[in-house]
Amino acid sequence: MKFEGTSSYIATEDLKVAVNAAITLERPIIVKGEPGTGKTMLAHEVAQSLGAEIITWHIKSTTKAQQGLYEYDAVTRLRDSQLGDEKVKDIKNYISKGKLWNAFESNKRPVLLIDEIDKADIEFPNDLLLELDKMEFFVYETGETIKAENRPIVIITSNNEKELPDAFLRRCFFHYIKFPDPDTMEEIVNVHYPEIKKDLIQEAFKIFYDIREVPGIKKKPSTSELIDWLKLLMTDDVDAKILREKDPKKLIPPLHGALLKNEQDVHLFERLAFISRRENENLE
Amino acid sequence: MFINFFFDLKQASLPVSLKEYLMLMEAMNKRVVDSFNVNDFYYLSRSALVKDERYLDKFDRVFGHSFKGLENSEGETEKEIPEEWLKLMGQKYLTDEEKKMVESLGGWDKLMETLKQRLEEQKKRHQGGSKWIGTGGTSPFGAYGYNPEGIRIGQKESRSKKAVKVWDKREFSNLDGDVELGTRNIKVALRRLRKFAREGVETELDLDNTIKSTAHKGYIDVKMMPERRNKIKVLLFFDVGGSMDAHVKICEELFSAARTEFKHMEYFYYHNCLYDAVWKDNKRRYNENIKTWDLLHKYPSDYKVIFVGDAEMSPYEITYPGGSVEFWNEESGETWLTRLLNIYENAIWLNPIPERYWDRISSASIIKQIFSDRMFPLTIEGIDQAMRELNK
């Protein structure tokens, strides 16, 4: 089992090494990086390339570790007992399986994506420590132990909103997806839009990386935003010439709404465009 | 060799543990990567040993150091300009006349000095994003008439195409804990300061309590509880004007990070030292100031206090009444600071000036003393420590 990237996902060499290490050693891998660099995508692509089933567990601020294992519905059981329902005699009827349980039960090695683990409570990763290490847990209500038949490939993403506990980190591989350089970016774009015009890409890239370097910009546009923007440019059939436009009056790139998602950033950009226009005029 | 590498990492105070080392060994054992390929080994060890992007740069440096000479690569590490190489290049490309000119400029050493300086400037300016104003782009070498094709220093393009070792590129250098901060980094550091508590309106079902109570009473008795919230409350004091102008950017970043991080945060401005009044709007500081007494009475003692300032002033401005440079203060800055510290148990001072200079600035030493040593540098590490301190 080896992950080599897919036709729709460009994996850098270091990412491949990290993922393969996690697969071989059957340990979780934590993926961090700027928003929009394809952290969540990775799990789907790994699953696709290995032909494995993907089980996703989206974490919210209210998610508890126990919910990933199983939940015991005491309230329904209580109600059923008052109504004299037959079901009430078997406690198993009131236990609903969580994502981890599903993953452990799977008879082919699945990919388990724990998405945005940092959204949950600070103690959340600690509560999953043993379960992810041993890949087993105990169901108190029925007294059975659920053990993974095939240890799932666990991919965990984090947006760095909370620090993860050391003990948890020690058990995982780690990869930080850095922002792609123009070459990698071109590959990524080609994967998404193979029919895109070469000159359009070039001009769009220039604008894109320039925007990312504007000092004081609040939200830097990311890969996914670039992809969206290119899509818009293509559907509107914007010519590369317009992007190359040196006319200072049109310094704001067309369809900029896809790149600048923040009112302040648009203002900042307009102001900079204004300044550079004035400078140009002075030069002339 | 690997053991040494591990200890090198430890020595560089990277948080690596035996478990991670064993994990790496296991991975090597299972042939995750081709063990003869150094690049793959670098990727693998990085993934197994580093668990926080803040340490990636440090790791790169240690790796470069530990495995130096393992791979054939020209020149020194990227960090230093390979002087020997430059000299050779220079001799190769310069005519005798030009060499004399170089001599007249103060010889090689002087030239190297200037060059380094230029390079430094160039880098800084580039990071400042001057691209948009249209400066920059002058080659540090152009002025001296070298062949720019031959040398090309500080130009990103040529650098990435050279056979530079991956770790020597130090792509993660801006994520290092000791270097300048970006708001995202600050937010991560500020997150240390969290204390969750259930307070306020009862909006959530308290399941455990409901079950307990239901079992106890024999009918369904629903119990509610308030939502969990971060209940940290912070007072932020910013030094503005004068010597602080150099640190405006970093203060802005800290401010914006703090504002999103803490729900209960109040900020105030002061100049050099705390006296009888502070203000909230720099434009109207003389009309709309807030009496420090009012502030001390208004905010309860469970607020955490963060002072941001370079503490660089004349010692009289702290210790003597009337010492302020701006107006006649009836009571000394020290009195006001102690007054404040007596109320707020958790208080720290963040100083944008690097720690090694503090001892040389007597006013900084005095303030540090008043704050019982709770002065921290305004770096990620510093904020990190400061937040731990505030959490005590």
Checking DSSP bridges between strand B264-270 and strand B347-351, what pairing results, if any?
unpaired
- What pLDDT score was predicted for residue A112? 93
**Percent of chain B as helix, strand, coil, to the nearest 5:** 50, 15, 35
The rounded distance, in Å, linking the Cα atoms of A234 and B97 is 57
Question: Is residue A54 scored above 90 in pLDDT?
Answer: yes
Between B23, B47, B134, which is nearest A17 by CB?
B47
- What pLDDT score was predicted for residue B159? 32
Find chain B residues with C-beta within 8 A of A210's C-beta: 131-132
- What pLDDT score was predicted for residue B80? 46
- The mean predicted confidence, pLDDT, of chain A is 83
Burial (Cβ within 10 Å: 0-12, 13-18, ≥19) of residue B193:
buried
What phi and psi, each to the nearest 5 degrees, are found at residue A257? Answer: -55, -25
- What pLDDT score was predicted for residue B132? 37
Find chain B residues with C-beta within 8 A of A164's C-beta: 51
Between A30, A161, A276, which is nearest B132 by CB?
A276
The rounded distance, in Å, linking the Cα atoms of A216 and A199 is 29
The rounded distance, in Å, linking the Cα atoms of B333 and B321 is 7
Q: With a CB-CB cutoff of 8 Å, which residues 245-264 of chain A face chain B?
A: none
The rounded distance, in Å, linking the Cα atoms of A128 and A142 is 20
Q: Judge contact between B244 and B273, C-beta under 8 A.
A: no
Say what the ipTM of the complex is.
0.77
What phi and psi, each to the nearest 5 degrees, are found at residue B12? Answer: -80, 15
CA distances from B389 to A75, A202, A253, B306, B386 (A): 44, 50, 47, 11, 5
Give alpha helix (H) positions in chain B: 2-11, 18-29, 38-49, 56-66, 83-93, 96-104, 107-127, 148-151, 156-161, 183-190, 207-217, 248-261, 292-298, 316-319, 333-343, 362-370, 380-391
CB contact under 8 A, B160 and A181: yes
- What pLDDT score was predicted for residue B142? 37
CA B218 to chain centre: 58
Instruction: State pLDDT tens for residues A114-155.
Output: 999 888 877 788 888 888 888 899 998 888 999 988 899 999
- The mean predicted confidence, pLDDT, of chain B is 72
Residues of chain B with pLDDT under 50: 71-82, 85, 92, 124-164, 177-181
Taking CA A201 as the corner, what is the angle to CA A195 and CA A205, rounded to the nearest 5 degrees?
Answer: 150
Between A17, A170, A275, which is nearest B20 by CB?
A170
Instruction: State pLDDT tens for residues A207-252.
Output: 888 888 777 677 788 888 888 888 888 887 777 777 776 555 556 7
- Beta-carbon neighbour count of residue B73 at 10 Å? 14
- What pLDDT score was predicted for residue A56? 94
Q: Judge contact between A96 and A113, C-beta under 8 A.
A: no
Following DSSP, what letter does each residue of B323-351 receive, concatenated?
--SSS--SS-HHHHHHHHHHH-SSEEEEE
What phi and psi, each to the nearest 5 degrees, are found at residue A38? Answer: 90, 35
Q: Which residue of A has its CA nearest to B37?
A: A17
End-to-end distance of chain B based on CA atoms, in angstroms?
41
- What pLDDT score was predicted for residue B146? 37
What are the structure tokens assigned to A75, written together? 């309230």
CA distances from B216 to A95, B210, B224 (A): 24, 10, 16
3-class secondary structure, A155: strand
Q: Which residue of B has its CA nearest to A214?
A: B129
- What pLDDT score was predicted for residue A279? 66
3-class secondary structure, B203: strand
Question: Best residue in B23, B46, B47 to probe A by mutation, most A CBs within 10 Å?
Answer: B47
Query: In this structure, which amino acid lies at residue B203?
Result: T
What phi and psi, each to the nearest 5 degrees, are found at residue A91? Answer: -65, -25
Between B20, B33, B129, which is nearest A215 by CB?
B129
Which residue's structure tokens are 């901060």?
A: B181
- What pLDDT score was predicted for residue A157? 93
B190 touches chain A (CB under 8 A): no
Q: Judge contact between A230 and A221, C-beta under 8 A.
A: no
CB contact under 8 A, A25 and B30: yes
CA A56 to chain centre: 11
3-class secondary structure, A175: strand
Taking CA A182 as the corner, what is the angle to CA A177 and CA A188, rounded to the nearest 5 degrees?
Answer: 65
- What pLDDT score was predicted for residue A96? 92
> To the nearest whole angstrom, how far is the Cα of B50 from the nearest Cα of chain A?
7
Which of A100-104, A160-164, B324-328 is the least confident region?
A160-164
Find chain A residues with C-beta within 8 A of B188's C-beta: 160, 163
Instruction: State pLDDT tens for residues B57-74.
Output: 888 888 888 877 654 443
Burial (Cβ within 10 Å: 0-12, 13-18, ≥19) of residue B136:
middle
Question: Is residue A20 scored above 70 in pLDDT?
Answer: yes
The rounded distance, in Å, linking the Cα atoms of A192 and A199 is 16
The rounded distance, in Å, linking the Cα atoms of B367 and B336 is 12
Question: Is residue A17 scored above 70 in pLDDT?
Answer: yes
Q: Judge contact between A153 and A23, C-beta under 8 A.
A: yes
- What pLDDT score was predicted for residue A181? 83
CA distances from B227 to B208, B230, B369, B389 (A): 15, 10, 40, 27
| pTM (2 d.p.) | 0.58
